[in-house]
């Protein structure tokens, strides 16, 4: 959830093992995964400094996969619940150092958020391509939909916004390759591009008319798939708290 430090899963040291108890509700590819990284509290009194990461193999006693959750979109990938009940893992299943889990997660989050932004931008570009083809083919009032000024202006606006988005994402990618993509910059990419993606796809669906609401048209699937991009990887509201904290810092 948004409150990462509020996680309740625990890992308690027991001789040369840790015993893990807890659960995780939304895990992408949870059904298919045969190795998962579990975030658990090794010291609940220490807040972020009491969080550690563990490697856990599927099939370990006490580790159960719940059902494949039924989603609005993104149906080609599974999203699962995972349950941990008295799961014993050897001490060397600890990933890195004890108490450093939160730091490790923070280090990797910019890459995850950049990945979401890249995906969002690609989807927005693809939606535009499909729509440009469609409006040239579909006819109403004796002309193609592309000949209406509303269509032309909408496409011009969306094209411009997507181009601007691409410049920002390319810049973030450049920074990432240099090892310089910081948390607020990646948060801005994630929030801005996924908002843009949803806006572009919504407008593109509108230009498809009723056919845009039918699964046989790719824009319908894009519409359903896009929505979660503003939620996972940290919600866009959480992205804004990260950005504002950085710009208001002394
Ligand atoms: C399809 C899917 C796949 C996922 N895959 C994974 C995965 O592989 N791994 C993983 O770890 N997680 C995964 N998640 C979880 C995802 O990251 C969380 O759903 C997301 O971070 C939001 O947490 P939440 O659902 O608990 O919402 P909540 O935290 O309950 O938030 C509810 C609402 O409150 C708002 N809110 C919360 N706190 C604040 C605040 N401080 N200020 C302002 N607004 C706030 C949120 O923005 C949101 O609008 C997945 C989720 C989905 C839907």
Q: Which of 57, 81, 112, 125 is catalytic?
A: 112
- Ligand 1: which of 5, 26, 111 to mutate, judged by most atoms within 8 Å of the beta carbon? 26
Residue nearest (by alpha carbon) to ligand 1 atom 14:
26
- The pLDDT confidence band at residue 117, using thresholds 50, 70 and 90, is very high
Q: What percent of the chain has pLDDT over 70?
A: 100
Cα dihedral: 55, 8, 69, 191 (round 10):
-90
- Ligand 1: which of 232, 234, 238, 245 to mutate, judged by most atoms within 8 Å of the beta carbon? 232
Amino acid 1: pLDDT: 84
Q: What are the structural domains of the chain? A: 4-98 (2.40.110.10), 102-248 (1.20.140.10)
Distance CA(30)–CA(112), nearest Å, equals 17
Distance CA(199)–CA(157), nearest Å, equals 11
Residue nearest (by alpha carbon) to ligand 1 atom 1:
79
Cα dihedral: 222, 227, 233, 234 (round 10):
160
Paired with 18 in beta bridges are 13, 89
Cα of 64 vs centre of ligand 1, distance in Å, is 22
In the predicted structure, residue 179 carries a pLDDT above the cut 90: yes
Residue nearest (by alpha carbon) to ligand 1 atom 44:
237
Do residues 105 and 38 lie in contact, with contact meaning Cβ atoms separated by under 8 Å? no
User: Which residue reads 């997507």 in tokens?
Assistant: 162
Encode pLDDT of 184-243 as tens digits: 999 999 999 999 999 999 999 999 999 999 999 999 999 999 999 999 999 999 999 999
In the predicted structure, residue 140 carries a pLDDT above the cut 90: yes
Cβ of 27 less than 6 Å from ligand 1: yes
Cβ of 28 less than 6 Å from ligand 1: yes
Cβ of 238 less than 6 Å from ligand 1: yes
Cα dihedral: 92, 95, 100, 104 (round 10):
170
User: Which residue reads 């932004």 in tokens?
Assistant: 117
Cβ of 1 less than 6 Å from ligand 1: yes
Cα of 12 vs centre of ligand 1, distance in Å, is 26
Average the pLDDT over 145-170 and give the result. 98
Encode pLDDT of 188-199 as tens digits: 999 999 999 999
Amino acid 68: pLDDT: 94
Paired with 84 in beta bridges are 22, 63
> Residue 77 contacts by C-beta under 8 Å, 6 or more apart in sequence?
28, 29
How much of the chain is in helix, strand and coil states, percent to nearest 5? 55, 20, 25
Please provide the average confidence, as pLDDT, over all residues in the chain: 97
Q: Are strands 63-68 and 35-41 parallel, antiparallel or unpaired?
A: unpaired
ipTM above 0.85, yes or no: yes
CA angle 173, 73, 131 (to 5 degrees): 70
Alpha helices by DSSP H, listed for the chain, are 101-137, 149-177, 183-207, 218-226, 236-248
112 catalytic per annotation: yes
Encode pLDDT of 6-48 as tens digits: 899 999 999 999 999 999 999 999 999 999 999 999 999 999 9
Distance CA(246)–CA(186), nearest Å, equals 12
Amino acid 5: pLDDT: 86
- The pLDDT confidence band at residue 4, using thresholds 50, 70 and 90, is confident
Cβ of 228 less than 6 Å from ligand 1: yes
């Amino acid at each position: 959830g948004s409150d990462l430090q509020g996680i309740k899963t625990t890992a308690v040291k027991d001789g040369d093992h840790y015993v893990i108890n807890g659960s995780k509700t939304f895990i992408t590819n949870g059904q298919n995964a045969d190795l998962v990284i579990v975030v658990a509290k090794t010291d609940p009194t220490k807040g972020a400094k009491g969080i550690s990461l563990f490697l856990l193999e599927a099939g370990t006693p006490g580790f159960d996969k719940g059902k494949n959750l039924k989603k609005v979109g993104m149906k080609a990938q599974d999203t699962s619940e995972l349950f941990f009940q008295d799961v014993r893992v050897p001490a060397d299943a600890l990933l890195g150092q004890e108490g450093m889990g939160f730091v490790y997660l923070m280090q990797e989050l910019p890459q995850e958020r950049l990945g979401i932004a890249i995906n969002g931008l690609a989807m927005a570009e693809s939606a535009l391509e499909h729509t440009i083809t469609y409006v040239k083919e579909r006819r109403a009032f004796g002309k193609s939909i592309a000949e209406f000024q509303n269509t032309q202006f909408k496409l011009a606006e969306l094209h411009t916004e997507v181009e601007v988005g691409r410049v920002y994402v390319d810049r973030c990618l450049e920074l990432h390759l240099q090892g310089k993509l910081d948390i607020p910059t990646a948060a801005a990419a994630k929030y801005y591009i996924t908002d843009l993606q949803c806006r572009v796809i919504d407008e593109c669906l509108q230009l498809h008319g009723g056919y845009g609401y039918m699964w046989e048209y790719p824009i319908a699937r894009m519409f359903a798939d896009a929505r979660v991009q503003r939620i996972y990887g940290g919600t866009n509201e959480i992205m804004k708290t990260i950005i504002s904290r950085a710009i208001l810092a002394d």
